[in-house]
Amino acid sequence: MSLVILISGRGSNMQAILDAGLPVAAVISNRPDAAGLGIAAARGIKTAVVAHKGYATREEFDAALAAEIARHAPTVVALAGFMRILTPGFVGQHAGRLVNIHPSLLPAFTGLDTHERALAAGVKVHGCTVHLVTAELDHGPIIAQAAVPVLPGDTADALAARVLRQEHLLYPRAVRWLLEEKVVIESGIVRIKDANAHQYSFSDRP
Active-site amino acid positions: 102
Helices 12-19 and 35-42, packing angle to 10 deg: 20
Which residue, 11 or 74, is less far from ligand GRF as judged by CB? Answer: 11
What x-and-dash track marks residues 141-180 binding ligand GRF by CB under 6 A?
A: -----------------------x--x-------------
Q: Judged by CB under 6 A, how many residues of this single chain contact ligand GRF?
A: 14
Which residue, 81 or 140, is less far from ligand GRF as judged by CB? Answer: 81
Give dist(CA 55, CA 125) in Å, integer: 40
Query: Which position among 27, 39, 101, 130 is part of the footprint of ligand GRF (CB under 6 A)?
Result: 101
The answer to the question of residue 84 lying near ligand GRF (CB under 6 A) is: no
Give dist(CA 72, CA 26) in Å, integer: 7
Residues in contact with ligand GRF by the rule CB under 6 A: 7, 9-13, 80-81, 101-103, 128, 164, 167
